[in-house]
Structure 1
C-alpha cells in the first residue's frame, strides 16, 4: 500500500469514527447542554428572580420549569444544528488532531504531553471555525422559552439571522472568537490529559476493565476541560444569545464580555452552568473517546480484512 493510500485510509477511519462518536454523544447529552446554556444566559442581577417563572435556581428547578412551561420535548430544543454539525465537527476534530500531532513532535520520536496538548488546541480551533454558525442557531433556539411546539424551526431561525444580520460577525459568525477560545482550550486539556495519562496507565486484558479504564480517563478529561474553559463558554452564550435590551448590543467581544460579567455579577458568574456542563462533558467526553477508539479499531480491522 502506497503512502497516499495509507493516509487516505487513516483519514477515512478518523472521519468515520469521529462522526460516530459525536453523533452518539450529542443525542445522549443534549438536554444538559441546553440547561447549561439557560444558566449562562441568566443574569444574576435580574430583579425578577422571584416573579419570573423562567428564573432557575438549580438544575432540577430548571428541568422542572422547562417541563412545566415548555413540555418534555423542550429538552431537545436546538438539537438539529448540533446533529447536523456533529459528524463533520468531530470528524474534523479527530482527523486534524492526528495531523497536528505530526506537526508538534518537535523532533521527538514519540508524541509528548506537549504534542497532545498543542494538537488538541489546533484541532479545537479548527472545529470551532466550522461549527460556529451552528452554535449561533443552537443558542438562539435554546434561549427560546416558549412551548416546544411554538418554537420556530431551525431553518426559519437560520434564515432570520441571515436576513437581519448577514453571515458576518453580527450574524451567523457571531461569537466566533469566543467559540475558538472555548473549543481550543477545552480540547487542549481534553486531548492532552487523555492521551498522556492513557499512556501511563497500563491496558487491561479483560475487556470490561479496559473499557472502564478508558471511561475513567475520558470522564476526567472532560471534567478538567470543562472547568478550565467555562468562562469562555459563558462569554460565548452571552454574545450569541439574545441581548438583555432588544436593539442594544451589551455583550460583544469575548474579553469584554468576561470583564463585564465579572464586574456586574461577580467571579462566580463566570462559572455559570458549570455543573450541567460537567455532567454533560464528563460522561460525554468519555462516551466520545471510547466510541471513537472502538469504531476506529473496528474500521481498521475491516480494512485489514479486505487487503488480506
Structure 2
C-alpha cells in the first residue's frame, strides 16, 4: 500500500496541491538553519502517520463490524427465507440456534470488511484528488477547493467528484469482497439450507454439506462443488451493487457532512455530531437505493450453493418497487446506520489521534 504522505481530509483548510514552497535564503545562518530543518523533515515518518487512513479505517471496521453483525445476519435471513417479520426471524433463530446463530460467519467479514474498507478508503482518498484535479484543469471548478471554503454547500460538481471516487473504490474492492461475502452468506443461512426440503436429493445433499462449517471449511466446500470460479458466484451483481452503492455512499457522506458543518459553523473535526449523522445517513440512503440489487445477489448466491459446477443457476430478475425485493430493508437500514455512525465516528477519532502524534518517533535520529 503506498504511503499517504500528502493526503488531507476534505475539510482540511488547504489543499496539498496549493501549498507554497519556501524561497531560498541568501543569509548563511538562515541557510544553515534551513538545511537543518530540511534534514529534520527528511527523517522517516512514523509508520502510523504515513498510513493513517489505512490504520484508522481498519481499526474502526473491526469495532463497527462486531457491533452490528447480528443485524446483518437477520437481514440476510429475511432476504433469503420467508419470515413473518423482524421479530419472528429473531425469535426463530434464537430458539433454533441460540446467540451463536446471530454470529455465524462473523470471522469472514471481520477479515474481509477490515481489508475491504481499508483498501476502499485508500482508493477513494486518491481517486477524489485525481478527479478534483482533472475537473479543476478541464472544467475550471475544483471540488475540493470549493468544499474547503467557509460556508460552502454541495454542488453538482462536488457530488460528481465524490460519487465517481466512491464508484471507483466500489468497483475496485468487489474482486476482494465477493469470495468473503459468499462465505459469510453461506454460514448465515447454512442451517436454513440444511432444513430446506428439496425435491432433488442431490441438491439436498449439497445443502447439507454446508451445515455448521467454519469459514475456511465453507470456502473449501464451495470450491469442491462449484470449482475455483465458484468463489466469484454472483460477481456481476456484486460489482453492480458495490459500484453504485459505494458511489452513493461517499457522495452522501461528504455532502451531508459539509451541509451539517456549514450550518453549525464548526469545522468537521470539531463537530462529532456532523460525522455521526452523516455516517448514519450515507448507510441509509445507499441501501435504500440499491437494495433490490442486493436482494437478487443474495438469492442468486444462496441458490447457487445448491448447484454443482457447470450447472446453470437461474438468475432472478431485479424487480424495483416489488415488496418481496425489499424484505429486510428496515433491518438493513437500521444496521447500516448503526455500523456507519460507529465506523465514521471511530475513523475520525482514530485519525485525529494519529495526526496529533509527532511526525517521527521520539528520540529517533538518522
Q: TM-score, normalised by structure 1?
A: 0.82
Alignment match of 2:143 (pick from 110, 126, 132): 110
Larger radius of gyration: 2
Once the two structures are superposed, the pairs formed by residues 168-207 of structure 1 within 5 Å of their partners are 168=229, 171-202=230-261
* Alignment check: 8 A CA contact 2:48 2:354 kept: no
Alignment match of 1:301 (pick from 326, 346, 356): 356
Q: Which residue of 1 aligns with 2:125?
A: 98
Q: Does 1:270 align with 2:309?
A: no
* Alignment check: 8 A CA contact 1:136 1:174 kept: yes
SS at 2:228's partner residue? coil
Tell me by how many angstroms 1:209 deviates: 8.4
Change (3 A) 1:22 1:204: farther
Which runs of 5 or more residues in structure 1 are unaligned? 43-54
Which runs of 5 or more residues in structure 2 are unaligned? 8-46, 145-157, 195-210
* Alignment check: 8 A CA contact 1:140 1:242 kept: no
Q: Distance in 2 between matches of 1:21 and 1:208?
A: 16
Q: Distance in 2 between matches of 1:223 and 1:269?
A: 19
Structure 1 segments of 4 or more deviating over 4 A?
3-11, 203-209, 243-250, 305-308
* Alignment check: 8 A CA contact 1:81 1:154 kept: yes
Tell me by how many angstroms 1:101 deviates: 0.3
* Alignment check: 8 A CA contact 1:97 1:120 kept: yes
* Alignment check: 8 A CA contact 1:40 1:272 kept: yes
Q: Does 1:126 align with 2:126?
A: no
Q: Does 1:74 align with 2:135?
A: no
Q: Distance in 2 between matches of 1:57 and 1:134?
A: 29
CA RMSD of aligned residues (A): 2.9
Q: Does 1:16 align with 2:55?
A: yes
Q: Which residue of 2 aligns with 1:290?
A: 345
Tell me by how many angstroms 1:40 deviates: 1.2
Bigger Cα displacement from structure 2, 289-298 vs 200-209: 200-209
Tell me by how many angstroms 1:250 deviates: 4.4
Tell me by how many angstroms 1:258 deviates: 2.6
After superposition, what is the alpha-carbon deviation per residue over 1:223-250, rounded to whole angstroms, capped at 9, x for unaligned? 1011011011101101211359766754
Bigger Cα displacement from structure 2, 124-133 vs 199-208: 199-208
Q: TM-score, normalised by structure 2?
A: 0.70
SS at 2:190's partner residue? coil
Tell me by how many angstroms 1:109 deviates: 3.0
After superposition, what is the alpha-carbon deviation per residue over 1:162-215, rounded to whole angstroms, capped at 9, x for unaligned? 1221221xx101111211222222221111011122223235669998222221
* Alignment check: 8 A CA contact 1:244 1:250 kept: no
Q: Distance in 2 between matches of 1:272 and 1:17?
A: 33
Q: Distance in 2 between matches of 1:61 and 1:71?
A: 14
Q: Which residue of 2 aligns with 1:233?
A: 294
